Amino acid sequence: MSQRLFPTAALPAKARKMCYALVAPALLASLGACSVDRMATGTTAPGPDYWTNHPIAMAEAPTLLEVFPGPGKIDRVSDMALKAFAAGYKSRGVGQIEVLFPQGAVNEASLRASMPEIRRSLASAGVNGYLSVGNYPVRHPENAAPIRLSYRELKAKVATKCGEWPTDLASAVSLEGMQNRPYWNFGCSYQTMYATQVDDPRDLVGPRAETPPDVEMRRHAIEKVRAGGDPSTSWSVSVGGVGG
Residue 27 lies in a domain: no
User: Would the pLDDT of 31 be above 80?
Assistant: no
- The answer to whether residue 209 sits within a structural domain is no
Is residue 244 one of the residues assigned to a domain?
Answer: no
Say what the pLDDT of residue 172 is.
65
Q: Name the pLDDT band for 149 (thresholds 50, 70, 90).
A: very high
Instruction: Tell me what the mean pLDDT of segment 113-120 comes to.
Output: 91
**Number of domains composing the chain:** 1
Q: How far is CA 45 from CA 124, 176, 180, 182, 224, in A?
A: 59, 12, 6, 9, 60
Phi and psi for 159 in degrees, rounded to 5?
-70, -30
- DSSP output for 167-226: S-SS-SSSSGGGS----TTTTHHHHHHHHHH-S-GGGGTSPPPPPPP-HHHHHHHHHHHH
Buried b / exposed e over 98-118, threshold 16 CB at 10 Å, is: bbbbbeebebbeebeebbebb
- The CATH number linked to 138 is 3.30.1330.60
- The whole-number pLDDT of residue 177 equals 63
Q: Is residue 212 part of a domain?
A: no
Amino acid 6: pLDDT: 45
Q: Would 82 be classed as within a structural domain?
A: yes
Average pLDDT of 211-227? Answer: 89
Give the domain range for residue 104. 60-155
- Is residue 11 in a domain? no
In this predicted structure, the answer to whether residue 155 has a pLDDT above a threshold of 50 is yes
Q: What is the pLDDT of residues 5-21, one digit of tens each?
A: 445 455 566 555 555 55
Q: Using the predicted structure, report yes or no on whether residue 132 has a pLDDT greater than 90.
A: yes
pTM: 0.60
Q: Write the DSSP string, 10-75.
A: GS-HHHHHHHHHHHHHHHHHHHHHHS--TTS--SSPP---HHHHS-EEEEEEEEEEEE--BTTB--
Name the average pLDDT for the chain. 80
Beta bridge partners of 94: 152
Query: Rounded to an integer, what distance in angstroms lies between the CA atom of residue 121 and that of residue 103?
Result: 23
Residue 215 lies in a domain: no
What pLDDT shows up at residue 51?
84
In a domain, residue 176? The reply is no
